[in-house]
Amino acid sequence: MAAPHCKLIYYPQYPEVRLSGFLRGCSRAPNYLLSEKSLRGREEGRILTLGIGSSDNSVYGVVFSKEHRIVDEINSKSTENYGVLKILPINKGLPDFTKHPEYDSKTELLERLCQISSKGAIAGWNLKSDGRVLETNAPNAGGLTLEAELGIPENPDNRPDFKGWEVKSTSVKSSEISMISGQPDGGLIIDDFEKFMIVYTDEIDKGKYKERYYTGRLRVGDELKKGRQLIHERKLGFLRVVDENDHVLAQWSHEYLLNYWKKKHENGVHIGVKRQDQVTESGKRALFTYYPDVEVGSGSTFGLFLNQIDNGNISYDPACWIRQYPNSGEPKKKQRNNLRIRKKAYRNLYHNFELINTCSGEIMESSNRVGI
């Protein structure tokens, strides 16, 4: 039976997520087990199971009373914690508590990363969405080359890179990992980019063109820097960059961040890479060596991400510019408004974290956390 009024409500001030409205309009809902008006509406020992249909991506729910025989069976099985929930893996429609698609894709990804790290130095290349293969020495060539080695075309969409896993690579010298590269969904930088650049940046004469450049890393808790500050209004549901007069220069709504996060960052892998620039007869060529030890995180939640914003571990790192060339009309523009996390805090984004050697399978670190 359909539950047309069922919805998830996120309360950022707690933080808390509530499942609501599932009884309303559902003709054969198990009211006696779920309604607060029922004697059994708050009974301990009940189990609510949720699953996603393989054909239509609809969410199906079944509630079992504490005396139902399946409750004892579920409680006797080894399950993986996912926040306040537990994962019950299934295989071909039948209960199988030793296998789960996440484990299969995780194993496959780690095997592929072992193969890549075993290659040694790899010349930078980029796999385009139309199948073209291009050499690249770009600043982000380490990530592009890793994706290409995994068979992943350059992907600008907000989806995980490899079968449900978001793959990140950083150099040993880098202190942060880029997590959100999409544009803010509000503020002057979005409403009128040219006005923003004129008001908040200085023009520099580069000879061939005149340029305005906007940069400067900001964190929640920092004082004003160059007249700007990053604030998190958690109860109102906004992450904002404001000036000394509280004008909103850029903002990310929780709705926008939540949609981005849940699509892309539930599971993640971070791998280190070393870059070497080789001089050849045809010019400079970038070579990349990937390390076998990787950080593996699963079970991320939006609340964990917000906590890292509040802790100052997430930074806003813009790199926007406008270039005006002589005798040309419209100036050239580029916007980059990244949100990055300190490398040492990457593990804090996930309920389950492991440091694994991809080739030996050795787990060198492991941790689990509870709560949102």
Does 94 map to a domain? no
Tell me how many domains the chain contains. 2
- CB count within 10 Å of CB 288 equals 25
**Structural domain span for residue 72:** 7-76
Q: What is the CA radius of gyration of the chain?
A: 24
- CATH number (domain holding residue 105): 3.30.70.3570
235 and 355 within one domain: yes
Does 359 map to a domain? yes
257 and 163 within one domain: yes
Among 76, 109, 135, give the residue marking a domain's end.
76
155 and 303 within one domain: yes
Does 81 map to a domain? no
Does 90 map to a domain? no
User: What pLDDT was estimated at residue 100?
Assistant: 47
Among 43, 76, 109, give the residue marking a domain's end.
76
User: What pLDDT was estimated at residue 95?
Assistant: 38
278 and 135 within one domain: yes
* Residue from 190, 200, 188 nearest 225 by CA: 200
Does 91 map to a domain? no
110 and 55 within one domain: no
Residue length, the chain? 372
Question: What are 110's two structure tokens?
Answer: 């780690």
Which residues are bridge partners to 18 per DSSP? 9
pLDDT along the chain (372 residues), means of 10: 77 69 73 67 78 72 77 72 68 41 77 97 93 92 95 79 93 94 95 97 95 97 95 96 97 95 94 93 92 96 96 97 92 96 97 96 91 60
User: What pLDDT was estimated at residue 5?
Assistant: 79
278 and 213 within one domain: yes
Which residue type does 9 have? Answer: I
Handedness of CA 112, 114, 117, 119 (dihedral sign): negative
Grouping H, G, I as helix, E, B as strand and the rest as coil, residue 50 is strand
205 and 306 within one domain: yes
User: What pLDDT was estimated at residue 104?
Assistant: 74
Handedness of CA 214, 218, 224, 225 (dihedral sign): negative
71 and 113 within one domain: no
User: What pLDDT was estimated at residue 42?
Assistant: 72
> Is-contact 325 333, C-beta < 8 A?
no
Cα angle 132, 136, 138; round to 5: 135
**Cα–Cα dist 135/145, whole Å:** 9
In the block, tokens 């849940």 appear at 262
User: What pLDDT was estimated at residue 92?
Assistant: 41
Does 133 map to a domain? yes
Does 88 map to a domain? no
Among 36, 61, 76, give the residue marking a domain's end.
76
User: What pLDDT was estimated at residue 101?
Assistant: 47
59 and 106 within one domain: no
> Is-contact 315 309, C-beta < 8 A?
no
Q: Where are the beta strands (DSSP E) in 34-151?
A: 47-52, 59-64, 80-82, 85-87, 90-91, 94-95, 122-123, 125-127, 133-135
111 and 33 within one domain: no
**β 166-171/267-280 pair status:** parallel
Which residues are bridge partners to 278 per DSSP? 285
In the block, tokens 């079944």 appear at 62
146 and 54 within one domain: no
Which pTM does this prediction carry?
Answer: 0.75
Does 12 map to a domain? yes
230 and 346 within one domain: yes
Q: Which DSSP symbol is given to 68? A: S
User: What pLDDT was estimated at residue 32?
Assistant: 64
E strand or H helix that includes residue 29: none
